[in-house]
Amino acid sequence: GEEQLRDGGLHRRRVVVLFSLPFHGHLNPTLKLAALLRARGLAVTVLHTDFNAPDPARHPGLAFVPIHETPLQDTAVSPDSDILAKLLALNAAIAAPFRQALASLQDAVACAVVDGQCYAAMDAAGELGVPVLALRTDSAAALRNMLAIPRLRDAGYLPFKGKQTKKEQLDEPAPGLEPLRVRDLIRVDGCDTDELCGFVTSVADAVRASVSGIVFNTFEAIEAPELAKIQRELSLPAFAVGPLHLLSQTPPPAEQSLHAPDRGCLAWLDARTPRSVLYVSLGSLACVNRAVFEEMAWGLAGSGVPFLWVVRPGMVTGGAAGEEAPPPLPDGLEEKMRGRGKIVTWAPQREVLAHDAIGAFWTHCGWNSILESICEGVPMLVQPCFADQMVNARYVTHEWGVGMEVGEVIERERVAKAVTKLMVGEDGAWMRERARRLQVQASAATSLALDSLVQYILSL
């Protein structure tokens, strides 16, 4: 049972506390891990921000406690601010409230599993004497790259000077981070390199000072060497407990979603032939400018391939601030699509990827999207936008051979060519075959790592 008899009859439960930054791609895996720990008999309390608060009704068995963060600055939420600005603003807004909420929990805390991008929470828990595990919602390779950022800056690789750098230099291996090339290194366009290094140093310092282990939503079959390296580099145990959505067996409709999915697109897919449709989505945060958006649109329409495209309100930069309506399509596009294209503002992505009609996924390479695609055996067209997406794209195309690039420049003719190559060409067939093999390996991923995580938590 959860109740432990201590201190001469006083009942005090020992709970595991989880905390995630309020991003869609972080909350989802965190809540899945929470459910898995609960299913193994641990008492679990989820601390959360008011912004993007999870819905407790969807998560029976978990306790939810709001931390009431300090009011968020615009940079934390605006689609126009970069990911670094968001991370810094969120860390600042949660630091004191998180500490207070954790300190005032009535239960004894066995351990806090906190977002590995949230140095403020790692520090606060550490200062309170609570054992801390960092939950990374990205890959082990991405964390290795992130921790190397100050070294890469000192060696002159950052700030990234894409267009001013010779192609041969961009194609050189990134020192210590192979198979990454210089062009695949984590970057956030427009952000200040010193600020980026400051953020990374805060995370690294928090890990060194407070963390007893790292939990990854990844699995050995795709990242064994990276996991071994990160354990060595940090001298910490790493638990590869993914793919969390597969192991937690959460039925997709029961999933936490920050936007209402348009389920009508599933009926639209039902009317399509197997593997005929390209699914296109840039995740929950990435934005493109109007010119890129139009090239994507014309390229898709011109390819002749049926497609389902997620066009989020605010996804195209330069629109009116706080715009709720999705960006308008280019004039004349509907005519060119001839009913071959379906556009939604948010899709039930896992169900879409599992649908027979889907032949490939044009993705921004967010880590959740990649895991979901792999788990359904769907090959990918990669268009990384920022941060770990660059790293993920390299692994998809080069290490695992389950995808190809749309092209460095998004231009309609090239887009149409890449789409047809993947959907109907021989290369595409080969990548689909590789993706199927990875799917089998993913479904063979066991919960052994989770069992050892539970043992470790109980030993802390």
User: Would you say the C-alpha torsion 100, 101, 104, 107 has a positive or negative sign?
Assistant: negative
389 near ligand UDX, judged by CB under 6 A: yes
Tokens in use for 141?
Answer: 């390779």
Tokens in use for 420?
Answer: 């047809």
Give the residue with the Cβ less far from ligand UDX, 126 or 261.
Answer: 261
421, 427 in Cβ contact below 8 A? Answer: yes
Q: Which residue minimizes CB distance to ligand UDX?
A: 366
| Rounded least distance, CB 98 to ligand UDX, Å | 20
300 near ligand UDX, judged by CB under 6 A: no
Interface pattern 306-335 for ligand UDX (x via CB under 6 A)? ----x-------------------------
| For residue 179, cis peptide bond before it (omega within 30 degrees of 0) | yes
Look at residues 411, 365, 372 and name the one whose alpha carbon lies nearest to residue 184. 365
Cβ neighbors of 269 (< 8 A, separation 6 or more) are 277, 308, 352, 355, 357, 358
Find the binder of ligand UDX among 217, 250, 303, 368 (CB under 6 A): 368
388 near ligand UDX, judged by CB under 6 A: yes
Look at residues 214, 376, 383, 250 and name the one whose alpha carbon lies nearest to residue 315. 383
Task: Based on the residue annotation, tell me whether 26 is a catalytic residue of this protein.
Answer: yes
Residue with tokens 């930069």: 317
Find the binder of ligand UDX among 250, 369, 373, 397 (CB under 6 A): 369
Query: Of 48, 82, 115, 245, which residue is the catalytic one?
Result: 115
Tokens in use for 395?
Answer: 């692994």
Residues 135-164 contacting ligand UDX, CB under 6 A: 137-138
123 near ligand UDX, judged by CB under 6 A: no
**Number of other residues whose CB lies within 10 A of the CB of residue 265:** 23
Find the binder of ligand UDX among 349, 373, 383, 397 (CB under 6 A): 349
Per DSSP, the three-state class of 354 is: helix
Q: For the chain, give percent helix, strand, coil, nearest 5.
A: 45, 15, 40
Find the binder of ligand UDX among 281, 303, 383, 397 (CB under 6 A): 281
Burial of 112 (0-12, 13-18, 19+ CB in 10 A): buried
Find the binder of ligand UDX among 22, 25, 126, 403 (CB under 6 A): 25
**Do the bridges between strand 43-48 and strand 10-19 make them parallel or antiparallel, or are there none, so unpaired?**
parallel
Instruction: Name the segment binding ligand UDX (CB under 6 A); options: 63-71, 193-201, 276-284, 433-441.
Output: 276-284
Task: Based on the residue annotation, tell me whether 115 is a catalytic residue of this protein.
Answer: yes
Give the residue with the Cβ less far from ligand UDX, 366 or 428.
Answer: 366
| Rounded least distance, CB 242 to ligand UDX, Å | 12
286 near ligand UDX, judged by CB under 6 A: yes
240 near ligand UDX, judged by CB under 6 A: no
| Rounded least distance, CB 260 to ligand UDX, Å | 10
Q: What's the CA gap between 260 and 32, in Å, rounded?
A: 19
Q: What's the CA gap between 91 and 212, in Å, rounded?
A: 20
Instruction: Compute how many residues bind ligand UDX; rule: CB under 6 A.
Output: 26
| Rounded least distance, CB 443 to ligand UDX, Å | 18
387 near ligand UDX, judged by CB under 6 A: yes
- Integer angstrom CA distances of residue 442 from 121, 223, 267: 31, 12, 28
Find the binder of ligand UDX among 210, 284, 303, 383 (CB under 6 A): 284
Give the residue with the Cβ less far from ligand UDX, 62 or 286.
Answer: 286
240, 29 in Cβ contact below 8 A? Answer: no
Interface pattern 242-261 for ligand UDX (x via CB under 6 A)? ---------------x---x
Instruction: Name the segment binding ligand UDX (CB under 6 A); options: 20-28, 49-57, 317-325, 443-451.
Output: 20-28
Find the binder of ligand UDX among 285, 300, 396, 422 (CB under 6 A): 285
Cβ neighbors of 100 (< 8 A, separation 6 or more) are 67
Binding footprint of ligand UDX on the chain (CB under 6 A): 23-25, 28, 137-138, 257, 261, 281, 283-286, 310, 346-347, 349-350, 366-369, 372, 387-389
Name the residues annotated as catalytic. Answer: 26, 115
